[in-house]
Structure 1
Amino acid sequence: MNPLIPPGARADRLDTPTGRLRVLSAGPETRDRPPLLLVHGGGSDNAAISWHGLMGPLAERRTVLAPDLPGFGGSMDVPPVGGADALADVVAEVMDSLELTRAIVGGVSMGGDVALNLALRHPDRVAGLVLIAPGGLIPLFRNRATHFWAWAGTRVPDPLLLPLVRLSGRFTRSAVRAVVKDPGTLPGPVIDEFVRESRRPGGGLAYTRYNQASIGRHRMLNDLSERVAEISAPTLLLHGEDDPIVDPAGSRRAAERMPDARLVEIPDCGHWAQSERHDLVLERILDFLERVDPSPAP
């Protein structure tokens, strides 16, 4: 089966210091305005899954780029690098290899965590942020008991952990449907690709490494809630009100603390707002892009 490619996008391979990564691209190749650089989520996600319905419409007026991070999708053969800080440096490498000085950076879930780290570690590279149900903004995973067992799961030695990761691939279809409010909103090809990725050799390993770097025994190690005030880039946060994975409270706190941020909470929506409420998310992103970087006069 051929890999999923979003309508209107093309796939290329890009050499970076970390490895040869797959990068999806769409839209006009123009240097007169910053491109939109999109970072996918975790689990068995990749750029084509996260941004399947958005790349084409967003690319009508600007370049849109979406890399597969090490250990995900078309970059599965590149060894995972760990947490969101290391992944942010990989995104900076992608920008260097593409000779991009700045970009408007979008991220969903884990990708939102990566985008926040990029804005903190490489602030001059980020012209704006679009964060969909971003990770990296909660001090504790759900409650103390759940957090402890999540941490304990990340401490299992690889000889036991990796077979469990492979076994979990058998239940991916049910798991995907559980993170959204209405499973009927998810395109079939997107679900099929997510399942296929979870069953590939090495599928889920990179996300395991991210979780190992993110979940501490008593707290989240990647919680940036106290640092988001340092981010001056204009920011749009989009979060489903019924998200069962990432608590919307983290996005609320971030929107209050960031100098130039707006939060849109989306009713009747779970974790994958870009798929569940595609039209609304697209509209809000386009409005934000026009505010941050207006279209040139005809």
Structure 2
Amino acid sequence: MTGDRLLPAGAREVFLPFEGGTVRLLTGGAGPGTPVVLLHGGGSDNAAISWYPVLAELARDRPVLALDLPGFGYTTGIEPAGPPGTTADLAVRIAAAAGHPRAVWGGVSMGGDIALRVALRRPGAVAGLLLVAPGGLTGLAGGSRTRHAAAWLGTRIPEPVMRPLARLAGLGARATARAVVHDPDTMPAPVVDEFVRESRRPGAGIGFYRYNRATVGPGGMRDDLSEQVRAISAPALFVHGLQDRWVSPGDSRRAAAAMPDAELVEVGRCGHWAQLERAGAFLESAARLLTRVDDAERKPPAGDDHHA
């Protein structure tokens, strides 16, 4: 912990001056492996919450960078953009400014949507993808027209009205945090406490509100990448809890089947946050992907001649 802020084991907190504001980064590791850049989810999430039990192990043999996106956590002075493509471009610039112009990009939920867009918009920046229940892969919010209509109506609430409503929603944050997983007893107490703090932060919820406003259309999702992901050639891993009530495991199945080099790991007795609820299964799968990426990144480009 730093003051009353959560820090994953082994993480260093860095505040990076960036484009007129300050980005909070959690960094760890310094080994020879391919760097990893991690993006958190939406709602009352931030880098420490999403990656609390796994950052240290991921950083065991490589640099790891987890960032608070604008509108979340302890990043300040940068307006949250809303559209995930715009946020993806911003995240690439942040990673480059922090010394990682090429990396494995990891993301959970909303962060997975953004990571997929990084791969589509800036393929040279992406050595691989590590995705946990990623968003951006469905035509309807919640998987049904009824739920989608309700989500659409929520995005029509004017932002000045949404701000006090978000503060009221924060009163139920502890219950919400436990509802994201299949077994609430697996949620580390420090993560739940940080989730509550995040929900009560000034401006909490506006980053996710703008994301939803940009992605939820009146008759369907504007950010559905189901067809576009076929163009992603980077090796990818999808990890999805079978009891996920927030993002359908079917979204990851279809995307993994469509992509040329993707593996899907479905985790039983697990909800939306597999990297928290089943950290061991997540890390085992991630280690396989990272080994593959490291081997590929060490190979010289095709056509290079290293003979004297």
TM interval, short-chain normalised: over 0.9
- Contact kept? 2:20, 2:77, Cα under 8 Å: no
Question: Structure 1: any 5+ residue segments left out of the alignment?
Answer: none
DSSP 3-state at the match of 1:218: coil
Shift of 1:177: 1.3
Look up the match of 2:69.
Answer: 69
* TM-aligned CA distance change 1:153 to 1:203, over 3 Å: same
Q: Which moved more, 1:10-19 or 1:287-296?
A: 287-296
- Contact kept? 2:21, 2:76, Cα under 8 Å: no
* TM-aligned CA distance change 1:158 to 1:277, over 3 Å: same
Whole-angstrom CA distance in 2 between matches of 1:82 and 1:269: 29
- Contact kept? 1:18, 1:90, Cα under 8 Å: no
Q: Which moved more, 1:251-260 or 1:12-21?
A: 12-21
Look up the match of 2:109.
Answer: 109
Q: Over the residues paired in the alignment, what is the CA RMSD in angstroms?
A: 1.4
Look up the match of 2:23.
Answer: 21
Look up the match of 1:285.
Answer: 286
Look up the match of 1:37.
Answer: 37
Tell me the alpha carbon deviations over residues 109-134 of structure 1, each in whole angstroms, 9 at most, x when there is no partner.
00000100000110000000000000
Q: Which moved more, 1:101-110 or 1:14-23?
A: 14-23
Look up the match of 2:199.
Answer: 198
DSSP 3-state at the match of 1:170: helix
Tell me the alpha carbon deviations over residues 22-71 of structure 1, each in whole angstroms, 9 at most, x when there is no partner.
1110011x5x5430111111111000000001111111100111111111
Whole-angstrom CA distance in 2 between matches of 1:244 and 1:77: 34
- Contact kept? 2:241, 2:249, Cα under 8 Å: yes
Question: Any residues of structure 2 matched to 1:43-192 within 5 Å, and which?
Answer: 43-141=43-141, 142-192=143-193
Whole-angstrom CA distance in 2 between matches of 1:27 and 1:216: 41
Shift of 1:176: 1.5
Question: Structure 2: any 5+ residue segments left out of the alignment?
Answer: 299-308
Tell me the alpha carbon deviations over residues 246-298 of structure 1, each in whole angstroms, 9 at most, x when there is no partner.
011110110111010010011111001011101111111012111221498xx
Please state if 1:8 is matched with 2:10. yes
Whole-angstrom CA distance in 2 between matches of 1:199 and 1:237: 31
Amino acid in structure 1 at the alignment position of 2:14: D
- Contact kept? 2:92, 2:101, Cα under 8 Å: no
Shift of 1:77: 4.3
DSSP 3-state at the match of 1:75: coil
Tell me the alpha carbon deviations over residues 137-189 of structure 1, each in whole angstroms, 9 at most, x when there is no partner.
01111210110111011111123222111110001111121121100001000
DSSP 3-state at the match of 2:101: coil
Whole-angstrom CA distance in 1 between matches of 2:16 and 2:211: 22
Whole-angstrom CA distance in 1 between matches of 2:251 and 2:197: 31
Shift of 1:100: 2.4
Amino acid in structure 1 at the alignment position of 2:246: I
Tell me the alpha carbon deviations over residues 88-120 of structure 1, each in whole angstroms, 9 at most, x when there is no partner.
011111122123231011000000001000001
Whole-angstrom CA distance in 2 between matches of 1:134 and 1:278: 17
* TM-aligned CA distance change 1:99 to 1:179, over 3 Å: closer
Amino acid in structure 2 at the alignment position of 1:103: A
Q: TM-score, normalised by structure 1?
A: 0.95
Aligned length: 294
Whole-angstrom CA distance in 2 between matches of 1:247 and 1:58: 26
- Contact kept? 1:107, 1:134, Cα under 8 Å: yes
DSSP 3-state at the match of 2:191: helix
Q: TM-score, normalised by structure 2?
A: 0.92
Amino acid in structure 2 at the alignment position of 1:13: F
- Contact kept? 1:16, 1:93, Cα under 8 Å: no
DSSP 3-state at the match of 1:44: coil
DSSP 3-state at the match of 2:107: strand
Amino acid in structure 2 at the alignment position of 1:146: R
Whole-angstrom CA distance in 1 between matches of 2:57 and 2:119: 25
Whole-angstrom CA distance in 2 between matches of 1:95 and 1:201: 26
Look up the match of 1:251.
Answer: 252
